[in-house]
Structure 1
C-alpha cells in the first residue's frame, strides 16, 4: 500500500475514496484543456480559475452570469445508463441564458456531487460538459467534485453549474426598444431540452415503452429521443448580432411560452404567436396525446419545438431568416409579431388555426 493510500485509509473506510478522485482528475485533464480559450490563465487543479478577458474595443464591458442545473432529466441518464450528454444540457441552460442579454460566454464552472464516485461515469459526464463548452466557445475554467456517502442513492449524482459572459454595455440586449410590428423568429429546439421532466417521466412510466423501443413517429429509440441534449444557440445568435440589432431574446425554459416571453417585453406590448408556423417534433405530439393535454397546457410547460426566440425590427426579419437558414446548426421560423397590448390582457397571445 502506498503512503498516500495509508494516509487516506481512514477517510476511505468512511466512504470517500481519495484515489478514485485522483483517477477522475487524471481522466478529465485533457478533456478540460480542450475547452481552453485564449483568456484562460491557469491550468486544471488550482484553487481558483483565472481568466483574462479581451476588452479592447469595448466602451464599457459588463459581466453577465447565469446558473442552473439539469433537473430530473438526470433520472434518464441513470435509467438508460447514458451519461455523456447531460453535461451538454448543463452548459446549455446557463450559456443560453446569458446569451439572452447579448453576452458572449467566457467560461463555465461545474459542480458534480455523488454518494460514491465512479471515475468512469463522472468522466462521461464531464465529457459532455466539455462538449457543451466547445459548442459555446467558452472555457471549462474549473469545478468541484463532491463525494458524499449516504447523501445520494447508489448510482445517482447531481449537477449544477454557472456561466460568466461579457457584453459591451451599449450593446446590451434589454428588450426596452421592442415596439408593435417587430417580428418574432423562433429557433428550433432539439427536443424537450431540460424542463418538464417530472411530467415526461410520469408519462413514460404509464406508456409501457422501453428504452430501446422505437419512439412513436420517429426511427429512433425512446432513449435517443428523450435524452437528446439541449441545443446551444450561442454561435448562430452571436454571428447574427454582428450584422444587425436584435431587440430582444428569449430562452424558452420552464414556464414555456407564457412565462418566458413576457420577461423581455415592455409592459405596453404583447407577443402574438401564430401556432403552426413551425415544425412540431414528434416527441411533443406524443407528450400531448399521452398526457391528454391541450396545446395551451403544452405551451405553458414545454418549449414545443421552439427553444429560443429573437425579436427583430421588421426591416431585418427576412435577412435574419436567410442568414439563419444558411446554417446547418439551427432551423428558424417566423412565428409571430409584437402588437400593442390591450388593457389587462396577457402579454402572450397564441393564435390557433
Structure 2
C-alpha cells in the first residue's frame, strides 16, 4: 500500500489545527483592545460585523478602502527574531493611504501566511497589528492565519491587510482643489518606513555577518543597522484628522510618501495644471535613510524616487489658512516643515536648491 492509502492526518501533512486554535486564543486580548462601539459580535465568526450608523449624520458618506503589505522588510524582522513591530507597518501602509482622502479608518482585516504556525510568534505579529489599529483608531475585526507547509520555509511568513474608512464627500480632500500658491507642509517619517527594502537590505545587510548587522553604528547614533531598518512606519491619522477638524478647508490635498518617494507620490495629489516645487534641504533626512542612500551610491534624483527621504506625509495647504494649520499641528506637539509651494505647471514634482538634499539647518 502507498502512504496515502495507509492514511495521513492533516497534522502529519504539516498543518497543526491544535496550534492554530492556540494562536487564536493568544490574540484575543489584542483584538478586543482595538474594538470600537460599532463592532458587532466577536472574533471567530465567518465575517466581521461593523455598524455604519455614524454615516447617518453625513451628507454624502463614501466608503474608502485600501490594501497593502509590508514587503521584504519582513526579512529584517526574521533576521532579528523580532516580530512585534511589522504589524504596525502593515496597518500604517493601509490607513495612511486611505487617509489621503481625509477618511477616518473604521476597521481592519489581516492575512498572515506562515510556513509553520507558532502561537507565540503569531501573538507577537498580531500584537503589532493591534498596536497599529489602536494608533489609528480602527478596529481589528477579522483576519486569516494560513499555514503553508511545503510552500514556505518553517520560519518564513508574509503579511497583508485591508482597511475600510469613511469620509463625507463635501469634506473629502481632493487634488482638483489644489491651486497655484498653495503651501507644502511635510510631516517627518521615522525612517525608511516600509518601502525600498529590496535595495536597502542588499546594500545595508548583505555580505555582513550577524554581529556586523547588529553592532552599534556611530552613523546611526549608536543604533544597529538592522534595528534602524526595523523602525516601524509612522501612522499619521491623528494629526491629520485633528487638523481637518480644527481648520476646515486648511488642507486641500494629501500625499502619502511611499514607494516611488516624493517624486512619484506628491504628483498624485496634483491636478494637471500645476506643479509642486519642493525645496531640497528644508527638512532633515533621517540617519538610516542617508546611510542607505550612501551605501547604494544613489544620486539625489534617484534617492528622491526611491525612498521617502524623511517625509512621510505632505500637506497641500490653502495659503490663507496655512498658519492656522501650523498652529493646530503645534498644539499637538507635532514636528513639521514648510518644504515648498504649488506653481503653474503640468502635474509634476520639481525641485529647488539642487544639491541641498542633505543640507538641512535646524
Tell me the TM-score normalized by structure 1: 0.94
> 1:326 maps to what in 2?
331
Structure 2: which 5+ residue stretches go unaligned? 1-7, 357-362
Once the two structures are superposed, residues 217-260 of structure 1 have per-residue CA deviations (whole angstroms, 9 ceiling, x without a partner) of 41323233110000000001000001221110000000111111
Decide whether the 8 Å contact of 1:63 with 1:164 is kept in 2: yes
Distance 2:293 2:90 in 1: 26
Decide whether the 8 Å contact of 2:204 with 2:225 is kept in 1: no
User: How far apart are 1:206 and its partner, in Å?
Assistant: 4.9
Distance 2:262 2:55 in 1: 35
Correspondence for 1:233 among 233, 236, 247: 236
1:25 aligns with 2:11: no
User: How far apart are 1:148 and its partner, in Å?
Assistant: 1.2
> 1:184 maps to what in 2?
184
Decide whether the 8 Å contact of 2:246 with 2:328 is kept in 1: no
> 2:3 maps to what in 1?
none
User: How far apart are 1:153 and its partner, in Å?
Assistant: 1.4
User: How far apart are 1:288 and its partner, in Å?
Assistant: 1.9
Decide whether the 8 Å contact of 1:321 with 1:333 is kept in 2: no
Decide whether the 8 Å contact of 1:211 with 1:222 is kept in 2: yes
Written as runs of structure 1 = structure 2, the 5 A alignment for 1:222-261 is 222-244=225-247, 245=249, 246-261=251-266
Distance 2:293 2:64 in 1: 36
Q: SS where residue 259 of structure 1 aligns?
A: coil
> 1:6 maps to what in 2?
none
Distance 2:93 2:29 in 1: 24
Written as runs of structure 1 = structure 2, the 5 A alignment for 1:206-225 is 206=206, 208=208, 209-214=212-217, 216-225=219-228
Identify if the C-alpha distance between structure 1 residues 206 and 118 changes in structure 2 by more than 3 Å, giving closer, same or farther: closer
> 1:306 maps to what in 2?
311
Structure 1: which 5+ residue stretches go unaligned? 1-8
Q: Which of 39-48 and 145-154 deviates more?
A: 145-154
> 1:101 maps to what in 2?
101
Distance 2:19 2:286 in 1: 41
Tell me the TM-score normalized by structure 2: 0.92
Decide whether the 8 Å contact of 1:63 with 1:166 is kept in 2: yes
What RMSD, in angstroms, separates the aligned Cα atoms of the two structures? Answer: 1.5
Distance 1:280 1:145 in 2: 37
Decide whether the 8 Å contact of 2:90 with 2:161 is kept in 1: yes
Distance 1:261 1:294 in 2: 19
User: How far apart are 1:305 and its partner, in Å?
Assistant: 0.3
Q: How many residues align?
A: 342
Distance 2:325 2:284 in 1: 18
Identify if the C-alpha distance between structure 1 residues 156 and 206 changes in structure 2 by more than 3 Å, giving closer, same or farther: closer
> 1:276 maps to what in 2?
281
Distance 2:351 2:277 in 1: 6
Distance 1:216 1:326 in 2: 32
User: How far apart are 1:287 and its partner, in Å?
Assistant: 1.4
1:87 aligns with 2:91: no
Q: SS where residue 181 of structure 1 aligns?
A: coil
Decide whether the 8 Å contact of 1:64 with 1:165 is kept in 2: yes
Distance 1:217 1:78 in 2: 21
> 1:51 maps to what in 2?
50
Q: SS where residue 247 of structure 1 aligns?
A: strand
Identify if the C-alpha distance between structure 1 residues 199 and 215 changes in structure 2 by more than 3 Å, giving closer, same or farther: farther
Distance 1:206 1:32 in 2: 36
